[in-house]
Structure 1
Amino acid sequence: MWLLARSTRHAWSIARLSKQRSSYARAKSTSVVAWGAFVDRFASKRCDTENPYLEAHARSRPTQLALDTLFDGPVDASIQISAMGAGMRHALVAGTVLSNGKLQTKLAGFGLNESYQLGHAHIDATIDRFGKPVISHVDGTVEQIACGREHSAMVVKGVDGARRVLVCGNNAYGQLGLGGLKTKSSDGLRRHVLSELTMLNDLLFDSEEPVKVQCGLDHTVVLTNKGRVFAMGWGDDGQLGTSLQASADQPMRVVSLEETPITDISSSTDFTLALSVEGRVFYWGNAEYGQCMVGKKIDKILTRMEVPFDIRVKGIAAGGCHSLLLTESGQVFVCGYGALGLGPEHISTLLPMPIKGFGNIEAIFASTDRCLAVDKEHHVYSWGLGNSAGRLGDGTVATNTFTPTLISIDHLSPAGPCLVALGNDIALIASL
């Protein structure tokens, strides 16, 4: 069962998706704007007119970040932001540079770090969360990042050209996929350094490699270039799609998808969406709010179920109690409860409904109870329930935004966003 007390949000980047998975793939970026929790420390300019009701460290409007502050030192002029992720109340930003003929990534983390979800070996869990960022170094290029409640995962292309998954943070339910939970050792319950998901490598075919990771509350899902899906972690609500109401401390293949090559995945609190090459949508996990899009509420869906949707889908986004679908024509359909964008009179629906008058959309993103969308003219829209830490990004004290609202972003380049990371209380957008 998903509860607000357990809420987190996975946030995800889009720059590494192929055109088949998403048409929203753009060049690497060099500028980052952000809003929400912990952002003020890294702002390039101080703000004297910020909302006095906000948390002291927050920003309620998109704010350009100073990269030298974010990466805790002078930044090479050639640095490119290759990936970003945001979770419950932590975020990671990857900056890649060419050093001595090899690509290397500097990983900056900020926010909560009680379970070492920021991925640093020598940092006290009681770090001043409003102070300096946590810095790690990775050989190669970090291509994509996902953040959960208290864990993080990323796809890294090494200097040898091979891709692998690195994980860190809380492992109490096996969400890091490293095995060894039966020992109950402190090292098994959380991992304070970036660790390779080696158990996944043993399950891959020749020439198969990971291309995307997603983090829910306490589970992780991995997509490979062969269209196969693996899951690990908390499974009481069917989050792993294995037909078992059980957790797993190592990667488990979602066998029910074997005959259906998958091109994209989106995972949030306690459920997962998957998109096939034919534009079909599959669902598994908790569905008690009707976000499964089948016309009824279902407590737990233990194995993949196809969503009966007749329109070809090109984009998916899993929120907390709601699901979003993006059609090839640029229309957004929503289902479930909460941040639907349908207006204050419609906060619940058991079947997908279109957001009327809202089209030409190119990418969608969802968090626990908020959403972002980017249209083909690179405008960014926000809506959702609750505005803690100014997370809706409109600069107001409004508690809820029931319909898509245009967000003013002064420092966004004309080329539009390259990467978007949407977390529970943090949002980041990178552009050229």
Structure 2
Amino acid sequence: MGLLARCGQRRRAAVWGGRAARWFVQARAQSSAVLAWGAFVGRFAAAGAGGQPAGLEPHACAAPTPLQPHLVFGAAPEAEIRVQAVGAGVRHALIAAKVAARGGAAGPRTLLAGLGLNRCGQLGRARAGASADASVVTELDADVVQIACGREHTAMVVRRPGAGARVAVCGSSAFGQTGPAEQQPAAGALAPPSTELRDLDVLDAALGAGESPAKVQCGLDHTVVLTTAGRVFALGWGADGQLGAGSESDSARPVRVRGLPDTVPIVDISSSTDFTLALGADGRLFYWGNAEYGQCMVGRKIERVLVPMEVPFGGGRIRAIAAGGCHALVLAEDGRVHACGFGALGLGAGRMSALLPLPISGLGGIDAVWASTDRCLAVDRRRGRVYSWGLGNAEGRLGDGSVAQCVLSPRQLDIDPALARRGLVALGNDIALVAEAPAAPGGT
């Protein structure tokens, strides 16, 4: 069953200056700068952040818009807020930060702020109703290393003082994507959601001595974990082979992905919908899950790939990978981005599908890429530029300042170069975030 079966103006100039530039300087002096675009985020926008195009949904932002961190975290205006991690999925996003009261004797607290829908507790804890009028703020006993968001669940890598990293989860357990349900469902019913953030304890039994989670990714209804030993585990929805275990079954317990090399560690994973990409330390690329749009990069469409298959890539050594909905991106070491599949390829109006990876014209010097259901981002950190392209822009999801239905070639966004060079990025189905990264130890 594929993604589509289960899912149900004028261009703003790419120039950073004036009031927005002054806001960025002021934000850095007190709290981390945070930009956002897409659904819901207008409720937290800084005063005077700018107008929006006609036809935009209420409370959406069509261009990168500065947020007021104290509104997001429910903190006093003078509080110092330093972002640790950001994540975005389907109709929700999360920001983790250290929040300190200015002049207060107590040390900073770690807070998790969730924006958007929360029907299954995917923002970290239960909230009455499904309104997105306010953020959901949760205090944590751990630092947040990384956040991933799915359709109605969230997973993150956290680290507590004096302890190793762990995976914490919340939200829907309907397919086991957040582990075994805390309450057993009635016969024939879906598992109830995990409405409070909790550790994924069932992962511990699968890990070896000294092994811990290094990265987590959320598909629509499954979760993938990369460990420090270079092994990959998955749990949740499995009908399209998302778990890489050789079957179409779901699993509420982590299963080790089969068929990946035992002698070469995996160093990166990417998933956002119903398939996963994995990159080996030797540069080999692997693919599993839904492949009905040809996004598997082997020259043909495959209904589903139940165990990882190696994908030959002729564009040079691979630097980074990004798994979207019906498309996949591969970033080569020479800074060129290659796209494959259907839809948000960035290859221009004349090319909406490709069964083999094709380089995106005019896009070079890229350092990182992200993909979501129908959208992509690429960053040139040296020059401080962020590019966006994709389909479906009703809520300003592409960030180009318009509500044009499609942006079929990369378009530079209006983002401060300093933030683009070192920003944390999250690209979801409906919301995107770019936040100032924490300073390196000993840095400024």
Report the TM-score when normalising by structure 2: 0.87
Closer, same or farther: CA 181–351 of 1 in aligned 2, 3 Å: farther
Is 1:104–1:140's contact at 8 Å kept on the other side of the alignment? Answer: no
Tell me the CA shift for residue 49 of structure 1: 2.8
Which residue does the alignment assign to 1:71? 73
Which residue does the alignment assign to 1:114? 119
Which residue does the alignment assign to 2:287? 283
Deviates more, 1:237-246 or 1:172-181: 172-181
Tell me the CA shift for residue 147 of structure 1: 0.4
Which residue does the alignment assign to 1:216? 219
Identity %: 53
Q: 1:241 aligns with which of 230, 240, 244?
A: 244
SS at match of 1:273: strand
Listed as ranges, the matches of 1:354-369 within 5 Å are 354-369=359-374
Q: 2:318 aligns with which of 305, 313, 316?
A: 313
Listed as ranges, the matches of 1:404-419 within 5 Å are 404-410=410-416, 413=418, 416-419=421-424
CA separation in 1, counterparts of 2:428 and 2:105? 35
CA separation in 1, counterparts of 2:90 and 2:361? 30
Which residue does the alignment assign to 1:138? 140
Q: Determine if the alignment matches structure 1 residue 273 to structure 2 residue 277.
A: yes
For 2:377, the aligned partner's letter is L
For 1:390, the aligned partner's letter is G
CA separation in 2, counterparts of 1:61 and 1:424? 15
Which residue does the alignment assign to 2:53? 51
Which residue does the alignment assign to 1:16? none
Is 2:181–2:193's contact at 8 Å kept on the other side of the alignment? Answer: no
Tell me the CA shift for residue 160 of structure 1: 2.0
Closer, same or farther: CA 132–214 of 1 in aligned 2, 3 Å: same
Tell me the CA shift for residue 3 of structure 1: 3.4
Which residue does the alignment assign to 1:17? none
Is 2:258–2:308's contact at 8 Å kept on the other side of the alignment? Answer: no
Closer, same or farther: CA 317–246 of 1 in aligned 2, 3 Å: same
Q: 1:385 aligns with which of 388, 391, 406?
A: 391
Structure (1 or 2) with the larger CA radius of gyration: 2
Is 1:339–1:384's contact at 8 Å kept on the other side of the alignment? Answer: yes
For 1:144, the aligned partner's letter is Q
Structure 1: gaps of 5 or more residues: 9-28
Which residue does the alignment assign to 2:375? 370
Report the TM-score when normalising by structure 1: 0.90
Note the alpha carbon deviations across 1:108-165, whole angstroms, 9 max, x for none.
00101111111114x21x1431x22101111121110000000000000112231111
Closer, same or farther: CA 208–82 of 1 in aligned 2, 3 Å: same
SS at match of 1:395: coil
For 1:147, the aligned partner's letter is C
Tell me the CA shift for residue 416 of structure 1: 2.2
If asked which structure has higher relative contact order (CA below 8 Å, sep 6+), I would say 1
Which residue does the alignment assign to 1:403? 409
For 2:138, the aligned partner's letter is S
CA separation in 2, counterparts of 1:233 and 1:377? 40
For 2:368, the aligned partner's letter is A
Structure 2: gaps of 5 or more residues: 9-30, 438-444
For 1:400, the aligned partner's letter is C
Aligned length: 408
Which residue does the alignment assign to 1:18? none
For 1:225, the aligned partner's letter is T
Listed as ranges, the matches of 1:302-341 within 5 Å are 302-310=306-314, 311-341=316-346
Tell me the CA shift for residue 6 of structure 1: 3.7
Closer, same or farther: CA 278–166 of 1 in aligned 2, 3 Å: same
Deviates more, 1:182-191 or 1:225-234: 182-191
SS at match of 1:252: strand
Tell me the CA shift for residue 309 of structure 1: 1.1
For 2:402, the aligned partner's letter is T
CA separation in 1, counterparts of 2:421 and 2:93? 21
For 1:276, the aligned partner's letter is G
Which residue does the alignment assign to 1:300? 304
Q: 1:96 aligns with which of 90, 95, 98?
A: 98
CA RMSD of aligned residues (A): 2.1
Closer, same or farther: CA 150–417 of 1 in aligned 2, 3 Å: same
CA separation in 2, counterparts of 1:68 and 1:167? 25
